Structure 1
Amino acid sequence: MGTATTPVDEAQLNEFLGKMVGDLGAATNAPLMLLGDKLGLYRTLAASGPLSSADLATQTGTAERFVREWLAAQAASGYVSYDADADTYAMTTAQAMVLADEDSPVFLAGIFDSLYAMMVAEPKIRDAFRSGEGFGWHEHHPCLFGGTERFFRTGYKAHLVQEW
């Protein structure tokens, strides 16, 4: 193990730091993606785009300043597209299929409900680690089950009868 006094392989360290920074970015963006799903920001942008932050806020009944910040983060992550000349945002077909179209066989936005439930459960799971007692399914936040259903629904709908 490398420490302050033990030499470390710089390439290995930089590779690991890069992985961690990527994971931190993804984890930090998860709540924003949950908001985009819950507030209808992705669906509205996919259906009506390209839109300015003000137009998206008006159409979704949300505050423009928060929508502007949300859009900037989503564009920086590549989850929406930004046209600097027009100062508008839009979604590509691929982005919309994954984040806005609940009937798409590749829709993934529903999983963010489950991720929320996992984070909320952390104190109880930590206690279970210490005590050795279980953590029952009934103890999870209801978002876990709704998110799981939304995550798997489109795959089952597309493949269950036709292929499986």
Structure 2
Amino acid sequence: MTTQTFDTTKAEAFAGRMFEIFNSAALSLMMSIGHRTQLFDTMADLPPSTSQQVAAAAGLNERYVREWLGAMVTGGFVTYNPLTQTYVLPIEYAAFLTRSATPNNLALVAQYIPVLASVEEQVIECFYKGGGVPYSEFQRFHEVMAEDSGQSTVTALFDQILPLVPGLTEALEQGIDVLDLGCGSGRALSTLAANFPKSRFTGYDFSEVTIATANHEARSQNLSNIRFQVQDAATLNEHDRYDLITTFDAIHDQARPDIVLRNIYQALRSDGVYLMQDIHASSQVEGNLEHPIAPWLYTISCMHCMTVSLAYGGMGLGTVWGNEQALKMLAEAGFKRVELKQVPQDFLNDYYITYKQ
């Protein structure tokens, strides 16, 4: 047995880091509240203001706003003048905390923390008994995911994502058949349908709630070239039907991603293309040591993506299934050629441009 020598300096540094983590965890909750109550958006438009003025402008209770401001000041988000008792959100910080900062609004991402924490008890039970936590237990997860993807994927669609596939924009303008599998509330697909009226768009998702939202939004936009339907991707049984199939961050949390990828292969026409967006990571933990948000990805996986897959008797690949596993499974599904690409300023995602021949 190897005997370790206790390093006091190392221990004290680790203890200090723990307090930093506790503060950051607390601030993430306050960030979520600041986003959901639009306090960040309100303060971005205010001159130096008292807590009462901030609360009045936001239409909120002053006592709660004052305590929130205390967290924001001591956490370094907001500056405070004790002489005038006024608060200011610096414009440099507002550039990452407000809705007008889209696609750089990081405050909305903080919403995942309370959402995931809401299922802690169920996940802990799974540590002892196995199994998983189903989608139905996650309040607001799809709502937050829709807002997040609306900021990241939708805003990058035309300038960055579509150009990854040569000739795709031109084909969409001329008119092709498109399927988005795991479409969620349909923001990406509705955006495409609105901009390419000659193409025909279909969105499938497992969730009745998100499909109802997607259909409502499509009707409100008077989109006649799009349809949304509840469909389990693992039971999809269509052949040679689509010129383009897309999945945006949807494969890794499927119960049976192997079956889903084979179904996509079958549904795609021989000269079609499958565009898969998924998490940029390695399948091996040692390959993620330098990943800037690896702990975040493994936590999201444990608390959502892996556990929902296991809840339905699935493979439980998890968020960090990685490039190696993804390429292997695409080949096993029958795809002959895969081009792995990334877009500028997006360290989180990879784009697999996949062909049947």
- Structure 2-normalised TM-score? 0.41
Larger RCO (alpha carbons 8 Å, 6+ apart): 1
- Are 1:13 and 2:27 matched, yes or no? no
User: Is contact 2:35–2:98 with CA below 8 Å preserved after alignment?
Assistant: yes
Of the candidates 57, 64, 72, which is equivalent to residue 74 of structure 1?
A: 72
Of the candidates 93, 104, 115, which is equivalent to residue 102 of structure 2?
A: 104
Distance 1:119 1:102, change over 3 A: farther
Distance 1:145 1:153, change over 3 A: same
Q: Which amino acid letter does the alignment assign opposite residue 69 of structure 2?
A: L
User: Is contact 2:115–2:140 with CA below 8 Å preserved after alignment?
Assistant: yes
- Are 1:150 and 2:150 matched, yes or no? no
User: Is contact 1:107–1:151 with CA below 8 Å preserved after alignment?
Assistant: no
What are the ranges of 5 or more consecutive residues in structure 1 without an aligned counterpart?
Answer: 1-5
Aligned residue runs from structure 1 range 32-43, under 5 A: 32-43=30-41
1:36-77 alpha-carbon deviations (Å, 9 max, x no partner): 222221111112232110101112222222222211210111
Using the alignment, how far apart are the partners of 1:154 and 1:162 within structure 2?
A: 14
Shift of 1:7: 5.8
Greater shift, 110-119 or 97-106, is seen at: 97-106
User: Is contact 1:117–1:140 with CA below 8 Å preserved after alignment?
Assistant: no
Q: SS of the residue aligned with 1:161?
A: helix
User: Is contact 2:29–2:111 with CA below 8 Å preserved after alignment?
Assistant: no
Using the alignment, how far apart are the partners of 1:36 and 1:87 within structure 2?
A: 20
Using the alignment, how far apart are the partners of 1:78 and 1:152 within structure 2?
A: 28
Which residue of the partner structure matches residue 129 of structure 2? Answer: 131
Distance 1:94 1:154, change over 3 A: farther
User: Is contact 2:126–2:132 with CA below 8 Å preserved after alignment?
Assistant: yes
What are the ranges of 5 or more consecutive residues in structure 2 without an aligned counterpart?
Answer: 162-357
Using the alignment, how far apart are the partners of 1:94 and 1:158 within structure 2?
A: 21
Of the candidates 4, 28, 31, which is equivalent to residue 29 of structure 2?
A: 31
Shift of 1:23: 0.6
Using the alignment, how far apart are the partners of 2:76 and 2:88 within structure 1?
A: 11
